[in-house]
Amino acid sequence: MKACQDCGICCLETEMFLSNSDIKRILKKYSDFYEVKNFAKLTKYGFYQLRNINHHCFFFDPETKKCKIYDVRPKGCRFYPLIYNLEFKKCILDKLCPNRELFYETSSELRKNCIKLRKFIEKELGISLNQK
């Protein structure tokens, strides 16, 4: 997988879920700077999501177009632009990412990461994907 080109589009109006391990990892490194309520919001479904401020992720620096916590960013951000489409029950590359062709260069790499993404969603977020 190649590196992001730092366009920042994925950080605008984010709906990224956060697992408990994501939150713990962020707080372990940045507890002197942030509290959960600063960067996460609890949805009506009982899941945490990254909080948006001024239409972008709390951790996104719009001037540099970089993540302020890149080294401990949430797992969902690490998988991106690979996302799981609940409607079609499959992994896809997000069309919003203008550089999606730079990621997951082989179908084998894409499949392996899709398996990891599905495990993350089911085990760490507790969302059943009902794969049959």
Tell me the domain boundaries of the chain.
9-124
Spell out, as residue ranges, where the chain has pLDDT lower than 70: 1-4, 131-132
Question: How high is the pLDDT of residue 87?
Answer: 87
Instruction: Give residue 74's pLDDT.
Output: 97
Residues 6+ apart with CB under 8 A from 3: 102
Helix, strand, coil distribution of the chain in percent, nearest 5 = 35, 20, 45
Q: What is the model's pLDDT at position 24?
A: 97
pTM: predicted TM-score of the whole model, two decimal places:
0.88
Residue carrying the six token digits 């401990």: 72
Backbone angles phi, psi at 9, to 5 degrees: -60, -35
CA 121 to centroid of chain Cα atoms: 11
First to last CA, the chain: 29
Beta-ladder partners of 53? 56
Task: Give me the pLDDT at residue 105, please.
Answer: 82
